[in-house]
Amino acid sequence: MNYQLVIENLNQFSEEELFYKEFYELKKAGQSVEEFLQKNQSKKEYLGYVLHPEDLENKRPEEEFFAPNRNTAIIKHPRYFPVFHHEHSFFEMIYVFSGKCIQHFSNKTIELSEGDLCIMAPDVTHAIEVFDNSLVLNILIRHSTFMDIFINTVRDKTQISMFFLNNIYAKKKMPYLLFHTGKDPVIQNYILDMHMEQMQPDEYSDRIICSIMTIFFTQLIRRHKKNLEVPECYRAKNSYENDLFNYIVNNYAETSLEEIAGHFHFSVPYCSKIIKEIAGCTFSELQENIRLQQSENYLLYTQLSVADISEKIGFKNPETFIRMFKRHRRITPSCFRKLNGIKEGISGS
């Protein structure tokens, strides 16, 4: 399937969109919708959406958006769908393929134009408005699998890497990043590649999409880092904050508070204070959170043994790792693997 054919298919109105469009146009023209409602009595789900959008759940579980064993999802936003404020537990990107859309946040409204890419953090209240023929794609990424997908991307000292890391570990959450790509064909084609790969039902599709997405973010940074819009009040107050946080995330396994303080020429008490201001917790708590996140990814996406994972995340004794994991997840690492349908590593414990 070539790009042009995919674009043509995406631009076609679905039955759902035609329903919303007809209802919207009747209401906009001030005409009665009674006949329309009678004619569509069988479409109870659609009727519920247009008649009572306020009843829509503002936070629905991930399972409603992601297929089983899938870490990503690329979905066309239904045109003429009623506007309602909601939030997600996952990362979401809004890409305007053609036309425009309105993005509402709790305290701000922005208009996205063709080629704009808005990356939103989990738990950000927002609403999307598309009441014309514009084509808008929603690209979703599970929060729990972020570090596995973007482990190479987050090693860079870029605004986009800090956005993701801050929203996983830091106290100060940035609600969104907005890239103005000007409908860059390279960016657009990567999105189409992911959409086409999603149509493949085999066991390799999800991993291929994750690989494409890693390249996609790297290209996005390379080509459009100067076209990035960041909410003013969420920019770092001090130039070293991002460097400090990035250093901790990339050296969490072997570093210590004393080593970090020495690296940045801070006193230990001052370094501890800065970390608490950034992360909202002590260095030890932050380090443990990172170790826990990374260990889950190793357990889910590698065949490394529990002993090997323990060593990778900075524990000399596997028993220390197992105790930490059980304290947070109430089960052992091996049980966590089994519950997620993953075979244990060769020398797992």
pTM of the model: 0.78
Per-residue model confidence (pLDDT) at position 148? 58
Cβ-Cβ contacts under 8 Å for 16 (sequence gap 6 or more) = 46, 78
Is 349 domain-assigned?
A: no
Average pLDDT, the chain: 87
Distance of CA 247 to the CA centre of its chain: 22
Concatenate the DSSP letters of all residues of 32-97 into one string.
--HHHHHHTTT-HHHHHHHH-GGGS-SS--GGGTS-TT-SEEEEEPPTTPPP--B--SSEEEEEEE
Residues 76 and 221 in one domain: yes
| Residue 271, domain CATH | 1.10.10.60
Structure tokens at 84: 């309602």
Residues 247 and 227 in one domain: no
- Which one-letter DSSP state was computed for residue 347? T
Per-residue model confidence (pLDDT) at position 147? 59
Per-residue model confidence (pLDDT) at position 319? 95
Backbone angles phi, psi at 88, to 5 degrees: -130, 160
β 135-141/72-76 pair status = antiparallel
Whether 157 contacts 243, CB under 8 Å: yes
Residues 258 and 222 in one domain: no
Counted domains in the chain: 2
| Residue 140 pLDDT exceeds 90 | yes
Domain end position, chosen among 208, 233, 258: 233
Which has more confidence, 50 or 54?
A: 50
Residues 165 and 262 in one domain: no
Residues 102 and 139 in one domain: yes
Q: Which domain covers residue 296, as residue numbers?
A: 240-339
Is 173 domain-assigned?
A: yes
Confidence band (pLDDT; 50, 70, 90) for 210? confident
Confidence band (pLDDT; 50, 70, 90) for 1? low
Residues 204 and 101 in one domain: yes
